[in-house]
Copies of this chain bind each other. A is one copy, B any other.
Amino acid sequence: MKVKISRKEHFNAAHRLFNPAWTDEQNRKVFGKCANPNYHGHNYEIIVSLTGIPDSETGYVYDMKELSDLMREHVTSKFDHKNLNLDIEHFKNLNPTAENIAMVIWNILRSKIDKSLELKITLYETERNFVEYPAN
């Protein structure tokens, strides 16, 4: 049986939700106050989970310190204290919903981690709203 290990980090960012193909009125109707043109923001919590077989010599599925460093280098140092819509290339043409942010982070990290390990992203936008990708 495999073990799943998880590491939690955070970043604080501004964003707004909107579809550039829509009118302002449509955006307000669908995204409500999340469409505010002047942006709002969140303290995002990100959990990266890796599933695999512990190494017989270390007892680790993956070194948590290395996982933390990987998350900081490729995700949180780039997203922290930024405006996701304006400052992050991935969201130039992609609405920064929690769903899309989680999928972007998954794509960023997938190539950095050995394929033998399953990768999952959990993203808390607030303590009441969170998403997981992939779902299982």
Contacts and interface: CB of A to CB of B under 8 A. Distances in A.
Contacts of A102: 3
A90 to B, nearest CB: 12
B127 A38 contact: no
A72 interface: no
Given A41-B13, A54-B97, A3 B36 contact: no
Interface string A45-79: 00000010010011111011100100000000000
Contacts of A81: 33-34, 36, 40
Interface in A92-114: 94-100, 102-103
A3 B30 CA distance: 20
A54 B118 CA distance: 21
B39 A42 contact: no
A42 B17 CA distance: 16
B60 A40 contact: no
B58 A135 contact: no
Which 6 A-B pairs give the minimum distances between C-beta atoms?
Answer: A41-B41, A38-B83, A33-B81, A59-B97, A14-B14, A1-B134
Interface of A: 1-10, 12-15, 17, 19, 21, 30-34, 36, 38-43, 51, 54, 57-61, 63-65, 68, 80-83, 86-87, 94-100, 102-103, 118, 126-136
